[in-house]
A and B are shown apart, each in its own frame.
Chain A
Amino acid sequence: MTTTTYVDGVAPCPPRSGTLYDVLELILDRGMVIDVFVRVSLVGIEILKIDARIVVASVDTYLRFAEACNRLDLERDPSSSTVPELFGGSAARSIGKRKVRKAAESVGDTVRKAVGAGGSDEDDEYDDEYDEAEAEERPARPKRRRAPVSSSSGGSASRRRRAEA
């Protein structure tokens, strides 16, 4: 989280959750443009932008949401909305997060493939940079993701989680 250097010297207040991703589109899409000047062509940028956010508009994403939703253990007390596991519970949180990151990643992969269809060493170079950024940005994030669990196994996964808890 050392990416929040933009506050240095401007104000004493350090941002709580600011990262490069949070301001990426400002650096890239805002700011002054002078029409007669060249703007560097930034093919990779689209990838970075899309990877940085979760795209929620595909069946694949829906299935992942459904799976995460099915896994939630609401049975203990479905009528209460204040059960800690429901709201701050670390298990529920981490599951939600993992699902969503997985979704984001798979969408990013798809886009990367689509954009990189022209296939060149440039893309490889970009990917390297991207990975580096990823690694720095989210140090806690494991490099390898476990294989997606098929949505039909939601029940057993849920049971498994209950056992873990």
Chain B
Amino acid sequence: MRAEGPGTAEGPGLYVYAVVRAGTPLPRKSGGVGSPPAPLRTVGAGPVAAVASAAPVPLRPRRRDLLAHQDLLTQLAVSGPVLPMRFGMVAPDEDALRAQLAAAEAGHLAALDRVAGHVEMNVKALPAHDSLAALVAGEATVRRLREAARRRPGYEADVRLGEAVASALARRAGEAGRRALRDLAPMARATAGGSEVPGCALNVSFLVAQADSDRFRATAERFAAAHRDHVDLRIAGPLPCYSFVGTGTGTGTGAGPGGRSAPAPVGGG
């Protein structure tokens, strides 16, 4: 399915969604970023191909564009391994894209082999903001400061109390998050510390065999339910393997400032 025709507003440049193995079919119903969704095409170079569309102008991180990017990657994954591009990558033209694919072919193929049959599961440990009562009950310092603030109300007392609450929330979430990481890592082929997300105590992605993703999620959900007073554990996935595409052609898995990247191989079961 090749659609070279111009959409509405599009400028020079090709928005690149993913690198796949040559011959991977485009999902029939998917469109690309832009409004209306840009028609998709593949740009092949030997054994690998890029999925691309005209880059809309202006290209903005709008909700529907983020979802279009995400949805397309997900649907592509049905037909084979996918190396997701980061949102917003634009190649100057088709020739440049082909040249890049050819130059990085070995790395792309190795990465495709690595993620084949796997999905990414992301786990975030957020402070359990809904469990303030449990926190007060469980944290002597907070309880003491709360009593102090009630006996002698005032700005200083409230700041001290609030600071203690915030730090206890973060500490509890971090501790529970690390326990979750220990429990979940054995089910993953690799783990990758995620970027720092404000307010998030722990952000880790797991490379999980597709067949194990249900079990992984069930385990994570059990942990979340058992520790809800300590941590708001958010589990997302199965996802395209965003965090496991490092090929040496870029900085795909470059650890952000908050990246507590556990060394990759955990030994899959």
Check: A1 CB closer than 8 A to any chain B CB: no
B162 touches A65 (CB 8 A): yes
In chain B, what residue has the closest Cβ to A104? B199
A-binding segment of B2-10, B39-47, B178-186, B241-249: B241-249
B90 touches A129 (CB 8 A): no
Main SS of the interface on chain A? helix
Main SS of the interface on chain B? mixed
A60-84 at interface with B (beta carbon < 8 Å):
61-70, 72, 74, 78, 81
A61 touches B162 (CB 8 A): yes
With A11-B210, A24-B66, A66-B158 known as contacts, the answer to whether A56 contacts B170 (CB < 8 A) is yes
B70 touches A44 (CB 8 A): no
In chain B, what residue has the closest Cβ to A36? B100
B100 touches A37 (CB 8 A): yes
B residues near A11, Cβ cutoff 8 Å: 119, 210, 213-214, 238
**Cβ of A27 to closest chain B Cβ, rounded Å:** 5
Contact code string A5-21 (vs B, CB < 8 Å = 1, else 0): 11111111101111010
With A6-B240, A20-B63 known as contacts, the answer to whether A28 contacts B86 (CB < 8 A) is yes
With A29-B86, A34-B100, A126-B60 known as contacts, the answer to whether A15 contacts B237 (CB < 8 A) is yes
Query: How many residues of chain B have a CB within 8 Å of chain A?
Result: 94
A residues near B197, Cβ cutoff 8 Å: 25, 49, 52-53
Check: B77 CB closer than 8 A to any chain A CB: yes
A40 touches B131 (CB 8 A): no
With A3-B67, A42-B61 known as contacts, the answer to whether A155 contacts B252 (CB < 8 A) is no
Contact code string B156-191 (vs A, CB < 8 Å = 1, else 0): 011101110110011000000000000000000000
**Cβ of A29 to closest chain B Cβ, rounded Å:** 4
A37 touches B91 (CB 8 A): yes
With A11-B213, A96-B130 known as contacts, the answer to whether A70 contacts B61 (CB < 8 A) is no
> How many interface contacts (CB-CB < 8 Å) are there between A and B?
281
A residues near B253, Cβ cutoff 8 Å: 30
B133 touches A74 (CB 8 A): yes
B residues near A92, Cβ cutoff 8 Å: 132-133
With A34-B100, A62-B159, A69-B142 known as contacts, the answer to whether A97 contacts B130 (CB < 8 A) is yes
B residues near A97, Cβ cutoff 8 Å: 129-130
A residues near B158, Cβ cutoff 8 Å: 62-63, 66-67, 70, 151, 154
Residues of B within 8 A of A (CB): 13, 16, 19, 59-63, 66-67, 69-71, 73-75, 77-78, 83-92, 96, 100, 104, 119-120, 122, 124, 126-127, 129-134, 136-138, 142, 146, 149-150, 153-155, 157-159, 161-163, 165-166, 169-170, 194-195, 197-200, 203, 205, 210, 213-214, 217, 221, 229, 234-240, 242-243, 245, 247, 249-253, 256
Q: A38-B90, A38-B92 are in contact. List 11 more A-B contacts (CB 8 A).
A: A8-B74, A15-B235, A30-B205, A34-B85, A53-B199, A62-B158, A70-B146, A74-B137, A100-B129, A104-B199, A133-B63
